Amino acid sequence: MSSSASTASPGVPSESGTPPMRPFPWKQAIGFGLGVLKLAPEQFWRMTPRELACAIEAVEGRAAPLDRAAFAELMRRYPDEPHRR
């Protein structure tokens, strides 16, 4: 491995401040599809990610809108002003 390879721990923001990549939550998705929706495995694996997301939203509801603190954090991380040279 080269010395430029990332050594960041999972869940820890990188030096650039970008949020870390998280693995897809397969255990929760499969549990939802087979347990909550009562799908056969064949039906679950034929679903598209969008179909699964719509099914989850139909059962659990839509996520709450951003609160003031979350919006302020987004504004801090991604300001609208252009970069200065």
Residue 10 lies in a domain: no
Structure tokens at 77: 């991380």
Residue 16 lies in a domain: no
Residue 71 vs residue 17, higher pLDDT: 71
Residue 17 lies in a domain: no
As to burial, measured by CB atoms within 10 angstroms (0-12 exposed, 13-18 middle, 19+ buried), residue 11 is exposed
Q: Which residues constitute the domain of residue 64? A: 26-77
How many degrees, rounded to 5, is the angle at CA 10 between CA 8 and CA 11?
105
Residue 82 lies in a domain: no
Give the residue among 34, 58, 55, 35 at the shortest CA–CA distance from 45: 34
- pLDDT, tens digit, for every residue of 38-80? 999 999 999 999 999 999 999 988 877 788 998 899 889 888 8
Domains of the chain: total: 1
Residue 20 lies in a domain: no
Residue 47 lies in a domain: yes
Residue 38 lies in a domain: yes
pTM: 0.52
Residue 35 lies in a domain: yes
